[in-house]
Amino acid sequence: MKTKTKRMNFKPNGSWVLLPNPAKRETNSGIILDDATVNKLKTNILKVLAAGPNCTFCKEGDTVMIDPRGEGVVTEIEGVDYVMIMEHQILGIM
């Protein structure tokens, strides 16, 4: 799905962190990517879009490195795919 730049009305609960989905299947210009390309473009360095009230390590706007072996929850908010992870899956702030 396309990345939107408008501010969303979503605040994670507890220690959940909202991140952009690193496995984008479509470019901003609308090109659909195949599985091999999606896997090559994946990254584990992402910008925090929102952080829950119990997050003590990171905040909205931080660029973080996440554990690539960790699991997240892929969710759609306002037509855009995101990933939610627990704060403890963050390895560090860039």
Q: What is the mean pLDDT of the chain?
A: 84
Burial annotation 58-83 (CB, 10 A radius, 16+ → b, else e): beeebebebeeeeebeeeeeeebbbb
- Residues contacting residue 6 through CB under 8 Å, at least 6 positions apart: none
Six-digit token pair at 9? 């009305």
Q: Residue 42's pLDDT is what? A: 67
Containing 25, the helix (H) or strand (E) segment is none
Coil, strand or helix at 88: helix
Q: Which residue has the higher pLDDT, 79 or 19?
A: 19
- Percent of the chain exceeding pLDDT 70 equals 82
Region 71-75: what's the mean pLDDT? 90
Which domains are delineated in the chain?
A: 16-93 (2.30.33.40)
